[in-house]
Amino acid sequence: MGKTQMDRVVLLGTKGGPSVRKGSARSSSSALQIAGKTYVIDCGLGVTRALVDADIALTELDGIFITHLHCDHLLELGPLIYTAWTSGLTQPIQIFGPTGIEDYWNNFLKAMAFDHHIRTHDDKRVSLRDLVKINTYAEGDVVKIAGLNVSALRVDHPPVEDCYSLKFEGHGKKIVFSADTCYFPPLANFAQNADILIHEAMLGAGIDALVGRMKGAPGLRQHLIASHTMAPDAGKIATAASAKHLVLNHLVPVDDPNFTDDDWRAAVSETWNGPLTIGKDGMAIQLRE
């Protein structure tokens, strides 16, 4: 389908955290298709297959934005680009991320040096070093790309210092991705009047069960409480922002059968009475005219 599909957000992966369990959702990634261009926001494990399943051509990606360098947002960045390249990518592609994204990319290319050498010399492919441009951004920066202004707001996600909410404005639309953050009131001003606010969310009642089955991470509960947003607080941000549509994403927990969409809706209804979507892998949300 490629670029014939326009003006939508596709939730490619809606799970908070990097672990993989049978039947679970994929880690964090989304696609924004607007005005004939396709942008990927974060590259958790599974993003490549998710794009293909969403009928988004790997060879027609126009840019990739990474909100921060936690593995559930970054792990498949290199494999996505590399698979697009082996699938026929010939157009340049820009990658945007916080400080450290250059190290990730350079080290990935080093790891793939043997195969990359073969494919550039035997297949006569253009080197990925010539196709991929790495760009760093920081607090307050605005990236201008194909009629969009993409703004960055540093959010509170300890212990990560460089974690950014991203706002895409242009073509009559405003879409905001919260990234990973604890309850962060300045995000409401940043997302003011957003057509869609895609915000991470946790269910307090599900945290203990999740921590109980996660071995080898004794500090996980403390991290979740300090670094992520409870569902009612996500509703507070959306209300303060006068957002037109709240989408819950990066869900914790996402795969506990004891909790359903009704539980998420009940939690958010305390603070938000507007349109609400509970994210699911592969869900497409149309951007209204």
Using 50, 70 and 90 to split pLDDT, how confident is the model at 3? very low
Q: According to the model, what pLDDT value does residue 113 have?
A: 98
Using 50, 70 and 90 to split pLDDT, how confident is the model at 205? confident
* Region 136-143 average pLDDT: 95
To the nearest whole number, what is the mean pLDDT of the chain? 93
Q: According to the model, what pLDDT value does residue 244 have?
A: 98
Q: What percent of the chain has pLDDT over 90?
A: 84
Number of domains in the chain: 1
* Region 218-233 average pLDDT: 84
* Region 48-75 average pLDDT: 97
Tell me which residue has tokens 């269910």: 203
Could you list the residue range(s) of the whole structural domain that residue 119 is in?
A: 2-286
Q: Is the peptide bond before 18 cis (omega within 30 degrees of 0)?
A: no
pLDDT reading at 216 higher than 80? no
Supply φ then ψ for residue 24, to 5 degrees: -80, 165
Per-residue pLDDT tens digits for 156-172 = 999 999 999 999 999 99
Report the CATH number at residue 229: 3.60.15.10
